[in-house]
Amino acid sequence: MEKVIHGKIIGITMILALFLGCIGGPQPNIEKTSPTSTLENSQVQPTSTTSQIREEIIKPKAKFPEGYSDFGGWKEIRLEPSGYFRVEVVDGKYWLVDPEGYVFLSKGVNAVNYLGDHSPKLGYAPYYVNVLRKYGDINLWINTTVSRMVEWGFNTVGAWSSPELYEYFPHTVLLDIAAKYGFNWEKGTMPDIFKDDFEEYVRKVVYFNVEPLKNNPMVIGFFTDNELRWGPDWRSSNHLLDDFMTLPSDAPGKKVAVEVLKDVFGGNISKLNMELKTNFTSFDELLNYTGKLPSTALFNEARKEFVRRYAERYFSVVTKAIREVDQNHLILGVRFAVSPFIRPPDEVFEVAGKYVDVICINLYNFPVAPKEYLDHIHEITGRPIMITEFSFRAMDSGLPNTKGAGITVETQKERAEYTRRFIESFIKLPYAVGYHWFKWSDQPKEGRWDGENSNYGLVNIEDEPYEEMVQMFTSLNRDLEKIHKEG
C-alpha cells in the first residue's frame, strides 16, 4: 500500500506532485440513452449543452481505442453530457459518466511516477535511476508510459502519480486534509479535529488545492485523505474514544469524549463509577481521567458513538468546504483500509454515505472481492464503490515480498490469474465503478521508507513490463464495461 510521508521521497518533482499537482494540471454516432438513468444519485448535475461541451471542453491528450470516448468512456451507453465526471444509475447498474456523457469505469493505476520509491538503505530511488539511465529524458518516459497505459487498457492516473501525466488522462487528486493537520499514517495517530481552528484550516487547504481545479474536466474527483485510522487496525489496537480519553482536560476532543460518556450513561455518574471502578462525583471530573476504559456493553456503545461524532465532524466540515468552492467534481472520500482483519466501523461508513459521492476502499488480502461485505457497505451508505488499492505479488520477481499487504503467489502467471479473478468478481457487482491497481513499478528489494519490498509493479525496477500481467490487463480492460453491464 502506498503510504507517502512527506519528506521521505526526495526530489523537486515529488514536491510538485504533492502540492502543485493538486492545484493545476492535470482528460461518430451517438448511442441511445437509457431511460432508467437516475440523476438523483449524483451530487454533480449536468450544467452545459452538448454544443458548449464540444466547443469548450479540455480533453485528454491520450488517444483511447475505438469504441471509447476522448475521456476513455464506453461509447455503448451515452447520457446527457455535463462537462464533468458524475455518478449515474443505468438499468440498475452504477456508472461514472465522463464529461461527454459516456459511461465510464475508472481503470486506473496508482503511483505512475518516474521517481519510484526512495530506499533509505541505498540512499536513492533505484527505479528513478534506472529511468534516467534508460531514457535520458523524462519526456521519453512520459511518452512511453502514456502509450503503455493506453495499450494496456487503462484510462485513469491514480494517486501519487507524476503530474506530467495529468494532461493525458483523467485523474484523481489526493488532498491529505487530516494528514496535513496531524494525522500520522505510520502510527495511526488521529488529530483532534474538534479544535476550533479545524474548519478554517480545512477551508484554506481546500481553497488552495481545490478552487483552481473547479473547472477542470480532467479531474474525476477528490480523495480527502488516505487510510485514516477509525479504530483498531495494524497500527494500534485502540478505539478512538480510548485514545482521546488520554488527552489533557482542556483538549476539545477530550471534552467531546466525556460528553459521549455522559450521554451514553444517561448522566448517571454512579453507573459509570460502577463499571469504571472509580468514585467520581460528576462527569466533569472525567476530564482529568486518562486511564483505561473497560470493554463493557455501555463503554462499547460509547466507543461507537464517539467514532460516529468524529466521522460526522470530519466529513461534514470537509464536504462543506469543498462544495463551497467546487460543485463540479466528485468527492471520493478517504480510501478506507479494509482486509479480512481490518473493518472500519459501520458508524463511519454510515456517516460517509451522507457526504461522499463514491465509497473508496483499499482492499488487500482477499483472493476475490468480498461480496457479502461490499454488499453491506453499499447498503448502509447508498453509494457506489471503487477499489482504490489492491495488489498481488509473486516470488519469481526476485523480490523478498516480506513487507507489505497482499497475497503472495509463486509465479507471474498465477499473479495474473489472481488479479483477473479478483477484478472480475468485483466489477460484476452492480455498484462497482472502477479499480485502481497498486502500483506502477516494483518497490526496491532493499525496502522503501517503511521497509515495504514487494512485487506490486506492472513494471519491474528496470522499467520492464511483467508480460503475463500486462497481457491480462490488456484483455480484461477491453471487456470490463461489458462484464459490468451484463454482470
pLDDT of residue 5: 31
Q: How far apart are the first and last CA of the chain?
A: 29
Beta bridge partners of 408: 393
Beta bridge partners of 337: 362
CATH for the stretch 12-236+301-486? 3.20.20.80
pLDDT tens digits along 391-422? 999 999 999 999 999 999 999 999 999 999 99
The number of residues making up the chain comes to: 487
pLDDT tens digits along 163-173? 999 999 999 99
Q: Which three cell numbers stand for residue 213?
A: 481545479
Give the rounded distance of the alpha carbon of 470 from its chain centre. Answer: 23
Q: Apex CA 48: angle with CA 46 and CA 54, to 5°?
A: 120
Amino acid at 223: F
Stated pTM of the model:
0.88
Domain locations along the chain? 12-236+301-486, 246-292
Nearest to 434 by CA among 168, 110, 100: 110
Beta bridge partners of 333: 223
pLDDT tens digits along 214-266? 999 999 999 999 999 999 999 999 999 999 999 999 999 999 999 999 999 99
What is the spatial distance between Cα 323 and Cα 440, in angstroms, rounded to a whole number?
32
Q: Apex CA 154: angle with CA 157 and CA 4, to 5°?
A: 30
pLDDT of residue 18: 34
Residue bearing the bigger pLDDT, 13 or 176:
176
pLDDT of residue 56: 57
**pLDDT above 80: residue 44:** no
What is the spatial distance between Cα 315 and Cα 334, in angstroms, rounded to a whole number?
9
Preceding peptide of 204 cis, ω within 30°? no
Residue 123 neighbours by CB under 8 Å, 6+ apart:
none
What is the spatial distance between Cα 335 and Cα 464, in angstroms, rounded to a whole number?
29
Question: Could you give the 3-state DSSP secondary structure of residue 302?
Answer: helix
DSSP string for 306-330? HHHHHHHHHHHHHHHHHHHH-SSSE
Question: Could you give the 3-state DSSP secondary structure of residue 471?
Answer: helix
